[in-house]
Structure formats: C-alpha cells, structure tokens
Structure 1
Amino acid sequence: MAKLPQGFVVLRGGMTKRPTHPNIVFRRTWKIGAPDAESDERFLSTCFVDTGALEELRDCQEPRRIVVGRTGIGKTALLKQLQKSEENVIELQPEVLSLNHLSNSNIIKFLEEIDVHLDLFYKVLWDHVLAVELIRRKFDIRSEPTMNNFFDNILPNFSKKSMAREKAIAYLREWGDKFWTETEYRVKEFTTKLENDVKAAVGGQLSGVSFGVDAAKSLTSEQKGEIVRRAQEVVQKIQIKDLHSVISLLADSVFTDPQQRYYIVIDRLDEDWVDDSIRYKLIKALIEAVRNFQSIRHVKVVVAIRTDLLQRVLRKTMSSGFQDEKYEALYLKLRWTEQELEQVLDRRINEIFKSKYTSGGICFRDIMPKNQMEKTDSLGYIFKRTSRRPREVIMYINECIEKAEGRSRFTADIIRSAEVTYSQKRVTSLEQEWGSDYPSLRNYIRVLKGKASHFSYNAISEEEILNSIAQSLQQGDMFEDDLCVLGRKYISSTVAGDEVKDCWFTIMYRIGVVGIKPMPNIIVQWSFIDDAEIPDGYELQGMEFYVHPAYWIGLGISLK
C-alpha cells in the first residue's frame, strides 16, 4: 500500500483530509463491540468488513463453502452477513435438530458399542434433512394443504419420466406426508425407522434382552458377530440410491434458475448440540453431505467450523476412511491482514462517535499515540499482540478505552496498562478455547511461566513437563488428553521422555502460544498464519521457539 501524504486518510469514499476532533472524550463504559457475534449485532450491521470471503460464499459455483477459522476470527459474522445479503437462506441450528435423539437412543448406543459402522446412516440422515429443507423452502410448504398441493400439482411435472425420477418421487412420497412439520420431527422419524428395522433384523438374537450398552457388553463373541452382520445389512439397505435420485432431481428439474440461489447455513457446531460419543462422526458425515450437494448448481450448503474442532474430527474419524485432502477445495480459511483489521477499527470507532460528536469520518490512528512503541507504530504494537483475529483486537481496544476515561486519545502508557488485563484474559481464553482437547492445558501452559520470550528446545526440561502431567493426573480429569496418555506410558517405561517433550511442544505450537523458527534463514512460523501443525520432517531439537507476545504478561515471560 502506497504511503499517504501526511494528514490524509483513506475512508470508504477514497482519500480525504484527516479530520481532527479535539472534543472527543472517552467514557469507560464505551465499547467498540462484543467478543462474540451474537452479542455484537449493532456493530455487525453497520461495520462489517468484507475481506472477499462474502462474495466467495455468495457464488454458488465457487467450491469453498466450509468456513474454517479459530474462535473469534469472524465465522458467525460472515454467515450472518450472508443471511442479510441473500433472499433465500435457510438457517439450520444443530441444537434444535433433535440430534440428541441419536445419542439418547439405546439402539444407536448398542450399535456403536458393538462397532457397527453407522457412517452411511449419518450421511444419509444429513442428505435427507438438507433435501427436505430445500423443498420446503422452494415451494413454501408450511401446512398440510400446501404439502398436498406439492405432491398433487407440482411433483408430477418434474423432469421426464425415468427410473431414477420415479425412484426420487417414490422416496419423496414415502417421507413426504410430514414435510410441513419442523426439522426435528424428521430427524426423529428417520432415526426411528432405522431403530425399528434393526429390531426386526436382530431381535431374535437378543431374545429377552433389551438393547443398550450393557446388553452389548454381555454378548458372546458369536452373538456379537451375527448381530453386527445383520445390523450392517440393515444400514447398507438404507435408501441411499433413492436419495441420490432425489438430489439429481433437485439439480436437474428444481433449482435450475441462476437468479434464484438458495443457501443452507449451519453454525455453532462447537456447542453442546449432541453427545461427543457421536458428534465427530456426525460432523464428518455433514462435511460429506456438503460435498454431495455441490451437484445442485444454484444451491450452496455453508458450514462454519472452528479449526480445532475440524482437526479433532479428522483425528477421531481417521479410521473411518475420511481423507482430508479430498475436502480441501471446500475449505474457506479465514485470514485477516493488519490493513483489514484497521478497517474494522476505523468503522467501529466511527460508529460510537458519530452520534455523540460528529458525522464526519474518524480514523483510528487519530486517537493513537504518535510515538513508536518497540520500533513500530502503536497500532502495530497492538496487532502484534493478537493472532490477527477481530475478537482479540476488539478485546484489546475495549481495555484501552476503559483505561482512557476522560481523555481524547490513547497514550503509550494506556496501551501498556491495558495490555496487562488483556494478556491475562488471553491466557484464560486460550484455556477455554482448547479445553475440549486438553482439559489440563492450564498446567501445561504454566511450564512457560517466567521463561524467556524465545528459547531453544533444551531450555524446557523433561522434568518440568512431566511435573505438569503429574499435576493433571492427580487432579483426576475425566478425559486424559494425548500428553497425559504419553505421561502414563512414560511412567510405565513404554515411551521415552523426549517423545513426551515433543508432544508438549507440538501442543504449544498447535494452540498458538508458541511459534517456531525451524532454521536461521526462516521467519518465525505460527499455527494461525502458517501450517496448523508442525510439518512432518521438522526436527524439534534444532529449532528456536518464540512465545507469542499476547501471552508475555499473562505468563510472566522474561524479556531480558
């Protein structure tokens, strides 16, 4: 970006003279936004900054439709903006789909316990739900009369007669008598059919025994083998071919108008919408369904998912034949530049000042100190202490505003004072963000307490890491993560200490608290900018490691 003449700034309308507003006075109750999109409606509606991602999502021919990014990077905000900018958007909320009916089902639990592969069922369930939602929206099926009109007057006109068309219509008629009901009803209906079919197929083998986890554990090997065979046959007979015919019918005869685009958006997959015992399989099945619906050219199924949750899905479902490479083209990985983050700040500071002082444009740099901080400008100092996510920038600036009570601009002292609270909150937020993967993360991160801002592999001892694991094991966390498992193996002398140490470094890099410098001629790499995992072939022992500046104060990092 070319350097602007002194006293000028770029606003939405182009380059203009930088205004001065000597009467601006900060109040500690002011905020430039909330940390989460759900609470940030005021600013999202007027201050949205499009990095190009919105246009990609709106374009149904563009393959990227799974929005991937860490907490606070703007996934939910992007989906909300899509809903505002397009007319035909269906929002599916996982928590209201009654998918807990699956995890509460004794038969599903039974089948999972005896290792019946239900991946196909989960995928077909998503296909079924998505197809019906599209039909409901397209033909405005909200009641029994509108449903009857669809089957009597609309459906018979679809496409030319063919075996596939007849199968599709037969499938829709079989399941369509309750199209007008809520989505959660259809999830239960579809699951109940599988349960009844399984009961009929294997009931003879469980005479007098109820389905459930306890029943599964009491089976003999012979009983288990026969039940798995019969149950697997039921799963394989699910009407997957008929559903493919339905999707083809929708592509060829229904959603054919390029001026009438339809979207289904699914968010909040990281929340408590289904039991973890099947959540990862359901998300994997959803990703496969999203890929399947690409064949409908003017329909786009858009899913938002946190980076750490996607990584967890890949790890947990690897044995199910899930190949991430096949789905790379679907991922829209959100990234922010410092220039884009500055636009976010400019728009938000204008929003809080416009009704109080002026209708003219205010640039964020107008309220920042002019002197440099650590050989960079003050805004660069702040950005350096974030992972380039809007949420973190907003958090930091809100802390600055609170410290700037009664003043008209920030000072270097205000920014450094705000950093103390901000850094402590970032450590806590990091523990919460990754708590599902690493319940004992608090203990692991504390190994860095008081360390230098950058250090070698040997600066962290195996003893320090093993002590953090011992603390975690003593606390008796219900779920033991990879590091705890390795710690137990070390205690039983089945793994070496350096393997435990490498695992700790890998976790610290993955969560973003530590960056790596593999070789002297390579810049520091961070998981939120570069590779999400340390690349294969890198030797940890020869690297330099850097603690991210966001955590320096929170972890008491030594800067000497």
Structure 2
Amino acid sequence: MKGNILGDIRAENDISMLEMTFWQTTDYKALLESYDRPIVVGRRGTGKSALVHMLSKHWEKKAKTRVLVITPVEEQIIGLRDVLKLFGDNYLHIKAGSKLAWRYALYMEVIVDLANHYKLKNFIDTKSIEKHLTSWGAKRQNITSKIRKKLLNIIENEKGNRTPESRIADLSDEFELELLEEVILEAMNESGYQVVIFSDKLDEGYTPDNMGVAIVDGFVQSIIDIKHSLEEKVVAFAFIRDNIYRAISKNDPDFTRNIEGQTLRLHWDEYNLFNLVCNRLRAAFNSTIENNTRVWNAHTADALRAREGFRIALKLTLYRPRDILVLLNDAFLRAGTQNRDTIIYDDIDCTAKQISNNRLNDLLKEYETVFPALDVFTSCFKNTKPEMFVSEAETLIENQLDSLQSISKLTAQDIILSDEPKQVIQRLYSIGFIGVYNQSSSSFVFCHDGKEPDRDFLPSTKILLHPCYWLALGITNQEIKLEQAEDIHDEYDIEVSAVDSEFRSKRIGALMAELNSIPEGHIGASDFESWTKRALTLLFATDLENLELHPNKNNLQQRDIVATNLGSTPLWKRILDDYNSRQIIFEVKNYKDLTSSDYRQANTYLSKEYGRMAFIVCRDINNNLSKHKELNWVRELYNDHNKLIIKISSKFLEKQLSKMRSPQKHDELSKEISKLLDQYIRMWLPNKCKA
C-alpha cells in the first residue's frame, strides 16, 4: 500500500491528487468572486499553498489574464535582512523601507512579464523605464535576490553618510514608483489584459523578531497598496501564516486601520473536511460511489463508520486538512501491514498517539540546547487533566522536582536557573506547550516565538496544555472542539528565538551582577554567603548534593556552607579518595585579605566525615596565595596536620559563571579546581610534605 494513499500533505508535492480531488470551499469561491480581501491568513496546514495553485490555474484559463506566483527564497530573505538594517532598528522605519522595496519589486516583476510576452511587449513604454529594466535582472531570478541587489546598488552609489530616515525618504524617488504605475496602467488599458499576483510562502527565512515581522508587514502593505493604486488592472493576493499575522497585529500601530479589514481568514469545519476526505478516498481507491457517507463506510469499519465515526477521527486533530490527511494516511498504512483495506478505531488511535509522541519529541529536540530541562518539566503533566489553574500546575512542578533522580548536569543547572514554578510555566508558555486563557476572546492563547511572555501568571489564571501533546502525555479522556481548535495556532516548525536562547545567559548574568552590588565587610557578609551558596549550587549541580547554609548554626562550630560529595566525577572522587572528605566545607569570608585565624578555624572543622580538605571563599581578585602569609599558613596546616585548605576567590567564581553562560562550557569549574589542586600539590606545598 502507498505510504500516503490520500496524497502528500504538501500541496506542491501533491499536484495530481490536488487537481483531481480539490474541494471548493466558501473561502475559495470568495477569492474568485472578489478582490476586497487580498490578505489571506491561515494556520499551518489549512491549505494556503493548495489555494494558490488552484486559484492560479483558474485565472490562467481566463482570456487576457497573466498570472504571477511570487515565492521568496529563504537564503535571500536572510540576506535581505542584512541590507534592511540600513534603515535602522525602528520597526516603523524598517516596515516603511520594506514596503517601498517590495512594491517596486512587484511592479518590476509585472513589467518584466509583460515585456517578455510576444503581444504585450508592444504596449510597454520601455524607453521611459529603460534604466529599471536594465538593472532589474532576468525573469528566472528570484524576486528576493533581485530586490536585494537593487537595494545594495542604491546604497553603494550614495554620497556621504545617510541616516535611515533620509534613505527611506529618497527611496520612492529612486524607485520612480509613480512612473512605473503609469507604464503598467497604460499597458493594461491599451491591451485589455489583467495581471493577477499570488504571493505564497512568505514565512521563508522568517524570524520572529522586529526585523522579520517588519519585512513581511512591508510585503503585506505593498499588496494592499497595489489594490488601491492599479485600479484592479493588477490584482495581488498574499497568503500568510497566522503566527506572522498575529505578530504584525501586535507590532504595527496602523494594523487596525490598514490591514485588518483587508483580511480573509481560512476556516475549516466538519462538513468541508468530510467532503475533502471523501473526494480523496474516491481518487485513491478508484471508487465510483457518489454518496460521501457510503464512500467513507466502504473504507472504514466498526466505530469509524458513518459520520459519527468520522467525528471520532476528527476529534484527534485540530480540524485542518493536513491533520486529518496525516492521520488517515498513517492509519491506512497500518491497516495495510495487517492485510486490511479498511481502517478501524485501533488504527486511528495508535496513529494519533504516534503523531502526538512525534510532536513532543520534535519539541524536545528543537529546544534541547537552550532548554535542557524541558523534558523534565513536560513530564510534570503526564496523566493529568489538560486544563487547570496556574496554582495546580505549580504544585505538579514542585512534586516532580522533589523526586528527580539521575539527570545531567546541564539539565540540573537549567532547573536551578528556573528557580520557581511560576517561571517554569512562563517558559512553557513561551514555546507553545501551554496556552493561557484570554478573558476578552474567551479562548486559550498559545505563543510560539520563544519570547518572554508579556502577561502575568496569577494562581487563578487558567492554562491549557496544547492538544497536540495530550496523547503523548497520557491524556486520553479529553476532546478538542472545533471552536477551541480554531483558536489554537499550532506552528510546529518551531523557531528558537534569540530571546529564549539567552535565558541561561540572562539568568547567570543577573547572578554575576548581584555579586558586584554586595559591599565587602560585615555589612554584606550575609548577602555574600547567600550569593556563594547559589553560585556553588549552580556550578556544582549533580556533583555536590544538599548544599546547606549554616547547617549547624546552634553548635559551637558553625560551618558556613556544607555539601555532600557524591564522588560522581573524577575531581570529587579524587577528593573523596585522597582526603576522605564526604562532607565538603566552604568557609565564606566577605573580605579580600585572609588571616591565619581563618585558616586555623577551617582546620578545626576537619574531622571524621569532613575529611582533610576544605575551601575558603573570599573577595580576593584571584586564587593565588600571598607569599609570606597564606602560603606559610597552608604549608603549616599541611605539614603539621596533613590537612589542605584551598582558597577560592569570588572573581574566580564569577569567571566560571561567565563561562557557564555557554551550555557547551557547563562543566568548566571541575577542570579548573582540578588544576588548582595540582598547583597546590606540585608548586605551593614542599615535596617533603606527606601526600
């Protein structure tokens, strides 16, 4: 049996099946009949590329009509970002420059198409626009490449230093947009032709930052401008993903006035999806049955029969063509492996669980570098209810963290940096794992750009686990309804944004900055002890266990910080074996110059489980021992008592924290301490001392 018996889920790979089985929805018919809403918005998998293909075929058949399909190229969009930086970092400036550039590019694509047509070239006033035609480039080149080169050429010919504002102001004159409009309109009026432009895949090379959003916003605005400027002699449509549209609505202050009323949002319901599936079943199985229910029943069994059976399958999706086709393709493939030509409920159920597991695994893999503890945090919600209050989620997270065992150091550090359940919830929201209930829209809002949320998470705030992960988490007693599904924006080709990538760096940076605000001496002693404990907990995550501040505060001997040495790494196994130190002492001194009393005090703490080694953390600028003081005291304790006291400066810890901002350097400190230990043994302690 074919792997995708009902067709490929990507329209561009499914042309024959698409053309044979295309279901004409109300949205499709609306786009045929009216140019009022040139911006077509849809969630991923709602058939935008399929619409572009079928609409372009429809207009190609019309007399005196030219059709252009515009699709930007990822690598050229990335290159365009670099050029548009010359318009500054103000969103409105980038959008304005982008709009002018795209409008020029679309005009030139129309002119080049007309100039290459054996009839229409006679209606083009090529002399008046000769310099534009000469510099624009061949028809076969991608539009993004050509506009990028055009902008670079303009910038190279600039005289003197130009501000972003002056560049934008001069672009319209440089592009001569009014002249190009005049040439196009004259050609269209004289020839009686119409040009229809379809712009698809505007998410190519898209990044959810100000620059990325402004580039697409500029394109959308240029499409709307064409509608008003070229009097329907040139008609343009832009098909964009819902997540990008929402980003534009958030960033563009003119969104309501300029864009909102120009938008057609794609909707799918049970009726339309059933017709789409039945059309594909007829084509896949060469069926001549006309009645849709009978077609469905011919290829299903038991609980899946009739419209009620289709509803069962549909409730395992987010009510989109792509979802139901993936589900049924895999279900038929499973049935084929068991020599069946009909699918049963078990086929649907197993397939849906596998799809959900794949989605969750994709999420974990996508974020494994910048969110190492994601697997731990998502596991908190296994076998729970999908809808809950923030307070309930916080309890689940706390319970999970209390029972953690056998995790990597990188994961442990990520958990420490997410130092409270509320922050974990915020991070899970930022990557689309959970949604937050919006009172004004009465729906759950999901975010997928990785940015820090701009909303507060109160204990009474309602959240929803994303339905695509329910089955992977063992949530099987819940169903998603159509109205809920349409409010879920499942952009599962996840963009790991710079903001999310910098979470680790920002949190560690905040800890480093805190050190510099702590005054030396008695007044800052308590704060420095607390800071040292948090720094050591982070740096020695999984190496040392149960770090405790003043564990014996009521005793005569009050040790500052004590941790249990698990002996789980080469460094700490060496310290356990050579110095019998199961309990590790860190004495904390909030001043630079240590005294002999500090060393003798540390010495008195070393007995039994504490072994023969301790550390003193102080505010010195490095770990070096002063020649006639600290060096003598260390040697005295080592020679007379066979105990080793190692000095660690706060600057050294700060340096190790700085290195740790890069996940690749999460274990640098153990290597540095090991080197320091060798330095004591080989350089600072005389050879005659006992090992």
Fold conserved between structures, TM > 0.5: yes
Aligned equivalent of 1:194: 154
Aligned equivalent of 2:239: 304
How far off its partner does 1:393 sit? 0.4
Aligned equivalent of 1:390: 321
Shift in CA distance, 127/558, structure 1 to aligned 2, threshold 3 Å: closer
The normalised TM-score by structure 1 is 0.66
Shift in CA distance, 552/181, structure 1 to aligned 2, threshold 3 Å: closer
For 2:376 and 2:203, the matched residues in 1 are separated by 23
Q: Cα deviation per residue 1:6-50 (whole Å; 9 max; x = unaligned)?
A: xxxxxxxxxxxxxxxxxxxxx474521222222222321211112
Map of 1:213-228 to 2, 5 A cutoff?
A: 228=163
Query: 1:336·1:389 contact (CA, 8 Å) conserved in 2?
Result: yes
Query: 1:89·1:263 contact (CA, 8 Å) conserved in 2?
Result: yes
Q: Cα deviation per residue 1:461-491 (whole Å; 9 max; x = unaligned)?
A: 07839999xx9995799xxxxxx9xx97x86
Aligned equivalent of 1:132: 108
For 1:543 and 1:175, the matched residues in 2 are separated by 57
Q: Cα deviation per residue 1:39-92 (whole Å; 9 max; x = unaligned)?
A: 222321211112122233334x43222221222111111111112111221122
For 1:255 and 1:126, the matched residues in 2 are separated by 21
How far off its partner does 1:392 sit? 0.7
Aligned equivalent of 1:557: 475
2:138 matches 1:181: yes
Structure 1 letter corresponding to 2:342? R
Which among 328, 347, 353 is matched to residue 279 of structure 2? Answer: 347
For 1:448 and 1:325, the matched residues in 2 are separated by 42
Shift in CA distance, 188/516, structure 1 to aligned 2, threshold 3 Å: closer
Identity %: 17
Query: 1:423·1:553 contact (CA, 8 Å) conserved in 2?
Result: yes
Structure 2 letter corresponding to 1:47? T
Q: Whose relative contact order is higher, 1 or 2, with alpha carbons under 8 Å and at least 6 apart?
A: 1
Map of 1:223-242 to 2, 5 A cutoff?
A: 228=163, 231-240=164-173
Aligned equivalent of 2:68: 90
Q: What secondary structure is seen at the aligned counterpart in 1 of 2:125?
A: helix
For 2:192 and 2:373, the matched residues in 1 are separated by 51
Map of 1:256-275 to 2, 5 A cutoff?
A: 256=189, 260-272=193-205
Structure 2 letter corresponding to 1:302? F
Which among 294, 300, 304 is matched to residue 368 of structure 1? Answer: 300
For 2:192 and 2:383, the matched residues in 1 are separated by 60
Shift in CA distance, 270/290, structure 1 to aligned 2, threshold 3 Å: same
Map of 1:160-179 to 2, 5 A cutoff?
A: 172-178=129-135
Which among 269, 291, 296 is matched to residue 224 of structure 2? Answer: 291
2:24 matches 1:50: yes
Aligned equivalent of 2:263: 331
RMSD of aligned Cα (Å): 4.7
Residue range with higher mean Cα deviation, 378-387 or 240-249: 240-249
Structure 1 letter corresponding to 2:236? V
Q: What secondary structure is seen at the aligned counterpart in 1 of 2:73?
A: helix
Q: What secondary structure is seen at the aligned counterpart in 2 of 1:448?
A: coil
Query: 2:105·2:147 contact (CA, 8 Å) conserved in 1?
Result: yes
How far off its partner does 1:288 sit? 1.2
Shift in CA distance, 254/36, structure 1 to aligned 2, threshold 3 Å: same
Structure 2 letter corresponding to 1:311? R
Aligned equivalent of 1:480: none
How far off its partner does 1:310 sit? 2.8
Query: 1:91·1:264 contact (CA, 8 Å) conserved in 2?
Result: yes
Q: What secondary structure is seen at the aligned counterpart in 2 of 1:294?
A: helix
Q: What secondary structure is seen at the aligned counterpart in 2 of 1:404?
A: helix
Aligned equivalent of 1:220: none
How far off its partner does 1:95 sit? 1.0
For 2:89 and 2:155, the matched residues in 1 are separated by 15
Shift in CA distance, 352/446, structure 1 to aligned 2, threshold 3 Å: same
Q: What secondary structure is seen at the aligned counterpart in 1 of 2:44?
A: coil
For 2:258 and 2:23, the matched residues in 1 are separated by 30
Aligned equivalent of 2:616: none
Structure 1 letter corresponding to 2:313? I
For 2:104 and 2:361, the matched residues in 1 are separated by 41
For 2:21 and 2:208, the matched residues in 1 are separated by 36
Shift in CA distance, 371/334, structure 1 to aligned 2, threshold 3 Å: same
Structure 1 letter corresponding to 2:397? E
For 2:192 and 2:458, the matched residues in 1 are separated by 53
Aligned equivalent of 2:125: 155
How far off its partner does 1:394 sit? 0.8
Q: Cα deviation per residue 1:485-508 (whole Å; 9 max; x = unaligned)?
A: xx97x86xxxx975x477457558
Shift in CA distance, 368/154, structure 1 to aligned 2, threshold 3 Å: closer
How far off its partner does 1:134 sit? 1.3
How far off its partner does 1:266 sit? 2.0
Aligned equivalent of 2:330: 399
How far off its partner does 1:333 sit? 1.3
Which among 40, 46, 56 is matched to residue 73 of structure 1? Answer: 46
For 2:41 and 2:409, the matched residues in 1 are separated by 33
Shift in CA distance, 475/548, structure 1 to aligned 2, threshold 3 Å: closer
Shift in CA distance, 454/274, structure 1 to aligned 2, threshold 3 Å: closer
For 1:439 and 1:194, the matched residues in 2 are separated by 45
Structure 2 letter corresponding to 1:290? I
For 2:375 and 2:148, the matched residues in 1 are separated by 40
For 2:465 and 2:149, the matched residues in 1 are separated by 52
Shift in CA distance, 413/55, structure 1 to aligned 2, threshold 3 Å: closer
For 1:258 and 1:540, the matched residues in 2 are separated by 64
Unmatched 5+ stretches in structure 1:
1-26, 157-168, 203-226, 478-483, 529-535
For 2:371 and 2:421, the matched residues in 1 are separated by 20
For 2:412 and 2:166, the matched residues in 1 are separated by 41
Unmatched 5+ stretches in structure 2:
61-65, 402-406, 447-453, 479-691
2:386 matches 1:449: no
Shift in CA distance, 540/119, structure 1 to aligned 2, threshold 3 Å: same
Q: What secondary structure is seen at the aligned counterpart in 1 of 2:240?
A: strand
For 2:428 and 2:96, the matched residues in 1 are separated by 37
Shift in CA distance, 102/426, structure 1 to aligned 2, threshold 3 Å: closer
Structure 2 letter corresponding to 1:55? K
For 1:376 and 1:115, the matched residues in 2 are separated by 49
Structure 2 letter corresponding to 1:127? R
Structure 2 letter corresponding to 1:267? D
For 1:476 and 1:254, the matched residues in 2 are separated by 67
Q: What secondary structure is seen at the aligned counterpart in 2 of 1:201?
A: coil
2:15 matches 1:41: yes
Aligned equivalent of 1:20: none
Residue range with higher mean Cα deviation, 438-447 or 321-330: 438-447
How far off its partner does 1:195 sit? 1.4
Structure whose CA Rg is larger? 2
